[in-house]
Amino acid sequence: MKLVPIALFVLLLAAPAGADGYRWVKGNTHAHTRNSDGNETPRRVMRWYLDHEYQFLVISDHDVVTDVTYLDSDRNDDFILIPGLEITRAQDRLRLHVNALNPKRAVPTAALGRTAAETLQNSVDAALAAGALPQVNHPHWRWSITADDLLALRGVRLFELLNVNRDSNNFAAGGRPGTEELWDSLLSRGMVLYGVASDDTHDYLGDFTLGLAYPGKGWVMVRVTELTADAVCAALQQGDFYASTGVELADVQISDKEYRLAIKPLGDTTYTTRFIGRNGAVLKEDFSLTPAYAFRGDEAYVRAKVVSSAGELAFCQPAFVRK
Ligand SMILES: [Zn+2]
Ligand SMILES: [Zn+2]
Helices vs. strands in the chain: H and E counts, helices first: 6, 18
Helix, coil or strand: residue 258 = strand
Ligand with the closest atom to the CA of 96: 1
Residue 115 alpha carbon to ligand 2 centre in Å: 21
Instruction: Please give the tally of structural domains in the chain.
Output: 1
Query: For residue 27, what are the domain limits?
Result: 2-322
Within 10 angstroms of residue 66's Cβ, the number of other Cβ atoms is: 23
Residue 36 alpha carbon to ligand 2 centre in Å: 9
Q: How does DSSP assign 34-74, residue by residue? A: TTTT-SS-HHHHHHHHHHTT-SEEEEEEET-PPP-TTT---
Q: Are 135 and 184 in contact (CB under 8 A)?
A: no
Residue 112 alpha carbon to ligand 2 centre in Å: 19
Q: Quick one: which of 197, 200, 182 has its CA closest to 97?
A: 200
Within 10 angstroms of residue 119's Cβ, the number of other Cβ atoms is: 22
The CATH number assigned to the domain holding 300 equals 3.20.20.140
Ligand with the closest atom to the CA of 200: 2
pTM for the predicted model, two decimal places: 0.93
The per-residue pLDDT string of the chain (323 residues; one tens digit each, 9 = 90 and over) reads 445 545 444 444 444 445 578 999 999 999 999 999 999 999 999 999 999 999 999 999 999 999 999 998 888 899 999 999 999 999 999 999 999 999 999 999 999 999 999 999 999 999 999 999 999 999 999 999 999 999 999 999 999 999 999 999 999 999 999 999 999 999 999 999 999 999 999 999 988 899 999 999 999 999 999 999 999 999 999 999 999 999 999 999 999 999 999 999 999 999 999 999 999 999 999 999 999 999 999 999 999 999 999 999 999 999 999 76
The C-alpha atoms of residue 110 and residue 153 are separated, in whole angstroms, by: 15
